[in-house]
Chain A
Amino acid sequence: MVSSSLLAAQPGRRKTMTADRILPYVLIAPAVIVATIIAVIPLIYDVWLSLQDWYLLRQPTPVWGGLKNFRTLIYDVSLWSAFWRTWVWTLGTVAVEIVLALPIALLLNRDTLVARVASALILLPWVMPFIVLGYGWQFLLDSQVGTVHFMLRALGIAGDSSVLNDPTLAFTVIIFISGWKGTPFLVLALIAAMKAIPDELYEAAEVDGASAVTRFMHVTLPAIQNTMLIIALVLGILAFYSFDLAWIMTKGGPQSATTILGIKMYNAIFNDLRPAYAAAISVVMLVVLAIASALSLRLRRAEA
Chain B
Amino acid sequence: MSRRANPRHEAFLDWVTAIAVFLLLSPIAWVFLASVRPDRDIMSASLVPTSVTFVHFLSLFQRTDFMIALANSLVVGIVVALLTVAIAVPASYSISRFRYVGRDVMAALILGTQMLPGVAVMVPIVVIVRSLGLTNTLTALIFIHLALGLPIAVWMLRGYIDSVPRELEEAAMIDGTGQIGAMLRITFPLIRPAVVAVGTFAFVLSWGEYLMALALISKTEVKTLPLALQTLFDPYSFSWGEVMAGGVVIALPTIVLFLMFRNQLVGGLTSGGVKG
Contacts and interface: CB of A to CB of B under 8 A. Distances in A.
Given A32-B106, A42-B125, A282-B123, A114 B18 contact: yes
Nearest to A45: B124
A147 B269 contact: no
A36 interface: yes
Interface string A75-108: 0000000000000000000000000100110111
Contacts of B147: 34-35, 38-39
A200 to B, nearest CB: 11
A124 B270 contact: no
A63 interface: no
Instruction: Say whether chain B's binding surface is mostly helix, strand, loop, or mixed.
Output: helix
B251 A128 contact: yes
B267 to A, nearest CB: 10
Contacts of B68: none
Interface residues of A, number: 106
Contact of B211 (A103, A118, A120, A244): A244
A285 B116 CA distance: 12
A142 B31 CA distance: 13
Given A1-B101, A104-B20, A183-B24, A129 B251 contact: yes
Interface residues of B, number: 100
B14 A115 contact: yes
Interface stretch (A162-170, A187-195, A296-304): A187-195
A262 B211 CA distance: 10
A152 interface: no
Given A28-B95, A34-B147, A262-B119, A106 B1 contact: yes
A6 B215 CA distance: 46
A107 B13 contact: yes
Contacts of A228: none
Interface in A38-80: 38-43, 45-46, 49
A242 B119 contact: yes
Lowest 10 A-B CB distances belong to which pairs?
A: A129-B208, A241-B117, A31-B91, A27-B94, A24-B98, A42-B124, A27-B90, A114-B14, A131-B226, A28-B94
Interface of B: 1-3, 5, 10, 13-14, 16-18, 20-21, 24-25, 27-28, 30-31, 34, 42-43, 45, 47, 86-88, 90-91, 93-95, 97-103, 106, 109-110, 112-113, 115-128, 143-144, 146-147, 150-151, 154, 166, 169-170, 173, 178-180, 204, 207-211, 214-215, 226, 229-230, 233, 240, 243-244, 247, 250-251, 254-255, 258-259, 262, 265-266, 269-270, 274, 276
